[in-house]
């Protein structure tokens, strides 16, 4: 699952699907772990640590102002093993076995295996470099193969779309900043409603960023795949069962990320005074 998907979940996804999944057979832990490894979702989850360690961009702060203490705290809070266990806990609670089987069946196919390898490799690459190279590819595609760009946009819509990504970004920012204020680590003094309203005003800009980065990221990640393979992947993502898979995974990933940033914000007071946000 590509880097751009990590924010594609809606805040309500987990709660909504808990009710529906209650009447289905939930996946066991070992099968869920196999699913994570086969689909590459484990890499998407654990890569959140590196993103967090790179700096508190979610709060709109200058990473250099936090220094090495931020890196230490982010590394501890975003512990990969702990995040995987949290993910497995939620999968066991709400992920029906038939959806787990559906995801494994596609991503262990020849095409699925190659897709996961490409997406996992992209997780370990500098994001800014990835977008820069993706921009060069898109510039060429605009002239030579605009239909491929359309496919990338359809893929994004199939797994959640920009709108749900915007909601997730705002919700995580609210949780982070409210927790930072409660910990006395922020000079910001707003109510939750005021903070949500201020962040919501940024929605158009966030949406534009999400839409652009999604296309650029896809252009880079899937550059070695043929047009027919890209179409096949888009069609697989549009299948009803796969869309349910992604609705659950997006909700899980959003919840893990939101929980970790909220925890991190609550511990900012442990750091040096320059951590004020």
What span, in angstroms and rounded, lies between the C-alpha atoms of 45 and 255? 11
Where does residue 201 rank: exposed (0-12), middle (13-18), buried (19+ CB within 10 A)? exposed
pLDDT tens digit sequence for 37-58:
999 999 999 999 988 887 655 5
3 state DSSP class of 28: coil
Residue 189: predicted pLDDT: 82
Q: pTM of the full predicted structure? A: 0.83
- Do 100 and 35 touch, CB atoms closer than 8 A? yes
Average pLDDT over residues 186-212: 88
Residue 122: predicted pLDDT: 93
Per-domain residue ranges of the chain: 3-275
The 8-class DSSP code of residue 63 comes to G
- Do 221 and 5 touch, CB atoms closer than 8 A? no
In DSSP terms, 96 is beta-bridged to 26
Residues making up the chain, counted from first to last: 277
Task: Tell the residue number behind the tokens 């595609």, with chain if given.
Answer: 141
Instruction: Determine phi and psi for 24, rounding to 5 degrees.
Output: -105, 165
User: Is the predicted pLDDT of residue 275 greater than 50, yes or no?
Assistant: no
Residue 57: predicted pLDDT: 58
What span, in angstroms and rounded, lies between the C-alpha atoms of 58 and 100? 31
Closest CA to 236 of 117, 98, 95, 105: 105
User: Angle between the 146-158 and 227-238 helix axes, to the nearest 10 degrees?
Assistant: 20
What span, in angstroms and rounded, lies between the C-alpha atoms of 249 and 151? 22
User: Is the predicted pLDDT of residue 19 greater than 50, yes or no?
Assistant: no
Percent of the chain's residues with pLDDT above 70: 84
More confident residue, 28 or 105: 105
pLDDT tens digit sequence for 88-131:
999 999 999 999 999 999 999 999 999 999 999 998 888 899 99
């Amino acid at each position: 699952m590509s880097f751009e998907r990590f924010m594609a979940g809606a805040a309500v996804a987990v709660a909504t699907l808990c009710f529906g999944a209650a009447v289905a057979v939930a996946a066991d832990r070992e099968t869920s772990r196999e699913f994570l490894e086969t689909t590459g979702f484990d890499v998407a989850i654990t890569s959140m640590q590196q993103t967090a360690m790179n700096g508190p961009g979610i709060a709109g702060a200058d990473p250099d102002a936090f220094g090495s203490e931020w890196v230490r705290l982010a590394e501890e809070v975003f512990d990969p093993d702990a995040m995987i266990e949290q993910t497995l806990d939620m999968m066991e609670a709400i992920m029906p076995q038939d959806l787990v089987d559906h995801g494994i069946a596609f991503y262990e196919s020849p095409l699925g295996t190659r897709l996961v390898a490409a997406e996992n490799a992209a997780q370990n690459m500098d994001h800014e470099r990835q977008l820069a190279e993706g921009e060069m590819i898109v510039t060429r595609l605009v002239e030579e193969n605009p239909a491929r760009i359309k496919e990338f946009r359809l893929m994004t819509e199939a797994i959640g779309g920009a709108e749900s990504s915007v909601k997730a970004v705002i919700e995580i920012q609210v949780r982070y900043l409210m927790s930072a204020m409660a910990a006395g680590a922020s000079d910001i003094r707003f109510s939750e409603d005021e903070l949500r309203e201020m962040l919501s005003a940024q929605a158009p800009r966030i949406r534009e960023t999400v839409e652009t980065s999604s296309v650029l990221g896809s252009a880079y990640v899937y550059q070695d795949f043929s047009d027919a393979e890209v179409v096949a992947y888009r069609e697989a993502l549009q299948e009803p069962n796969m869309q349910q898979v992604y609705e659950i995974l997006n909700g899980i990933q959003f919840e893990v990320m939101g929980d970790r940033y909220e925890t991190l914000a609550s511990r900012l007071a442990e750091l040096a005074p320059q951590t004020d946000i």
